[in-house]
Structure 1
Amino acid sequence: RDGRNTGEVVDTRWSAFARTDLVDRSGDTGLNFYVDGGAGSYMFRFPGDYRRLFFLRREAAFFPYYFGKRERALIVGPGGGADVLYALMTGWRDIEAVEINPEIVDLVRERGDYNGHLYDLQGVDVHTGDGRNYLQRSDRRYDLIALPLVYAEAADLVGYALAENYLFTREAFAAYLDHLGEGGRLVLVVHNHALMLRVVATLEALWLERGGEPGRILDHLVVVNGSRGDATSEEAYRPLLLVQKKPYTAYQLGQFRKVMTELELNAYFMPGLRERSAFTPLRTAGLAAFVAATEFDISPVTDDRPFFYDATPGLDVKLVWLLWGSGFLGVVALLAPLAFGAMCER
């Protein structure tokens, strides 16, 4: 076996949290973590020489780490450590990471010879627990707070629709922004265009709650397409959102554009430079018009209704079929004994 693209499960851990699999799918560059067979993250092979991973600088998720003071970063949900690696490669001084799945943290540490002992390097402080709770107990301020993308297939998102997620609510965004230092940024990566719009709607709801002028949250926002995104599409691809406490300046946007050009990335949205029709209702008519302008349910997410991934109006088609199927099987289960009894009486 040459070790390439085998999809071989090399380790499995069970806990009260979930089943965690470490899978070899990519051979030389790294290994994949999967939680309950779905949501995943990546652990790169890191021999200690950053030059061996120079190719990563063209990844959209790498982009936010180029900018800012590069002093203190918080990564909520580091998984296999890719974002920790990005921060190290760009010279961030203090990197805190909070991972809710203890098995992933243990596996990363146990395979230190493979990943360069990433979670035990100087300047890296990894905690196990809920990222939002960790943040709300802290009085620290960060120059960057990042929520990396949890990799999932489209089918997996259907299962997420009914799962509570308190990391993407209005109250969560308030906690993140309140823990940013002067000039700090919140970075989020989401799966698709609809979820990007929902993040923006939720941020606008928070902005209005705090007395902001309608639509001006967009002056604090940059959206970058994922590394394989189509610059001509009206829909964002694996969008990366950079939310800044202060409005972006022309100089900052110019720096962003320069680096994106060098790395062959493209901006989906930059205030005043690359406006998008998807945001026009928010600029001109307000939050309600913005939410109503799309076929998706992008209404703001709150702690009282924390179903961030449920962006399908009404019930999802797959869920409807599941409910119909369950109902049918239930009826069969109830009627089968009656039919059997009637046959026996004959």
Structure 2
Amino acid sequence: MIVTIDGTASSPMYKFDGKDGSLDIYKKDVEYLPYTFGKKDNVLIIGPGGGRDILYALAGKSKNITGVEINTSTIDAVRHFKDFNGDIYNKANVKIYGEDVRYFINRSKNKYDIIYLSMVMTSSALQTGYALNENYIYTVEALKAYIDHLSQNGKLVFLAHDEEDMSKIVATAISALSRNGVSVEEATKYIAVLNKDSTMTHNHGGNSQIDSPW
């Protein structure tokens, strides 16, 4: 199922029966990679949309999952179709906030093991009222705020649409790290870029997957 915003931006909603055993299917997706190493107890998902990224956190057995979604209509849609998606937004370890991420992150006192943004940036957003928010999400100020809210050895994760978007994110991340006193040379040691097309295999259903050694 696809949740659309003003007929432009879209977000997938996956069918899920609510059972933990049914989450194993997501563990070979490249989107699950951040949950295969390091700490993952406390997770912040920015722009969870139809809830797909919540499923990856649930598959990773994260204890506390927080989602911040500016489009409250999307939240309403996920809750309306709870029988389809396993009622993921109402699980005991999931909290969803319908607000602008800049306000949420600036007042939050929490530290997160993973801060996750999966293709939140959309070219179609430039045609909608959410453009200002999405532009903020990828500013130097925003990335610095995310970094400041990471736990020790925490991970800031982006899934971008294409190489151009990822190049912009990497450049912005280097600038954000520099504001924390990290040189450009040192900053590159904190950044890893995975090219999905070059590392993925495809199953018979047409879905991209990664052969994980974990």
Alignment TM-score, normalising by the size of structure 2: 0.85
Residues 60 and 225 of structure 1 are in contact (CA less than 8 Å); yes or no, is this contact kept in structure 2? no
CA RMSD, Structure 1 to Structure 2 (Å): 2.3
Overall identity of the aligned pairs, in %: 35
Moved more, 122-131 or 200-209: 200-209
Q: Distance in 2 between matches of 1:45 and 1:67?
A: 26
Tell me the equivalent position of 2:143.
173
- Give the aligned residue type for 1:212: V
1:108 equivalent in alignment to 2:108: no
Task: Point out the structure with max Rg over C-alpha.
Answer: 1
1:224 equivalent in alignment to 2:194: yes
The Cα shift of 1:53 comes to 4.3
Matches within 5 A, 1:141-290: 141-150=111-120, 156=124, 163-164=131-132, 165-226=135-196, 229-231=197-199, 261-262=211-212
Matches within 5 A, 1:305-344: none
Give the paired residue count. 201
Q: Distance in 2 between matches of 1:158 and 1:71?
A: 34
1:135 equivalent in alignment to 2:105: yes
Q: Distance in 2 between matches of 1:158 and 1:133?
A: 21
Deviations along 1:221-270, whole A, 9 cap, x unmatched? 111223xx035xxxxxxxxxxxxxxxxxxxxxxxxxxxx6437xxxxxxx
Tell me the equivalent position of 1:4.
none
Q: Distance in 1 between matches of 2:126 and 2:68?
A: 26
**Which ranges of structure 1 fall in alignment gaps of 5 or more residues?**
1-30, 232-259, 264-346
Q: Distance in 2 between matches of 1:136 and 1:129?
A: 12
Q: Counterpart of 2:142 in 1: which secondary structure? A: helix
Deviations along 1:137-158, whole A, 9 cap, x unmatched? 1111111111111485x7x477
Deviations along 1:32-52, whole A, 9 cap, x unmatched? 111122211111111122433
Residues 204 and 215 of structure 1 are in contact (CA less than 8 Å); yes or no, is this contact kept in structure 2? no
Deviations along 1:98-143, whole A, 9 cap, x unmatched? 1111111111111111111111111111111012210111111111
1:42 equivalent in alignment to 2:12: yes
- Give the aligned residue type for 1:191: H
**Which ranges of structure 2 fall in alignment gaps of 5 or more residues?**
200-209
Q: Distance in 2 between matches of 1:67 and 1:56?
A: 16
Alignment TM-score, normalising by the size of structure 1: 0.54
Q: Distance in 1 between matches of 2:211 and 2:14?
A: 26
1:88 to 58, 71, 77: 58
Residues 44 and 82 of structure 1 are in contact (CA less than 8 Å); yes or no, is this contact kept in structure 2? yes
Tell me the equivalent position of 1:77.
47
Which structure's relative contact order is higher, taking Cα pairs within 8 Å and 6+ residues apart?
A: 2
Q: Distance in 2 between matches of 1:190 and 1:105?
A: 22
Residues 48 and 136 of structure 1, relative CA distance in 2, 3 Å threshold = same
Deviations along 1:165-199, whole A, 9 cap, x unmatched? 10000000110000111111111111111111111
Residues 44 and 112 of structure 2 are in contact (CA less than 8 Å); yes or no, is this contact kept in structure 1? yes
Tell me the equivalent position of 2:88.
118
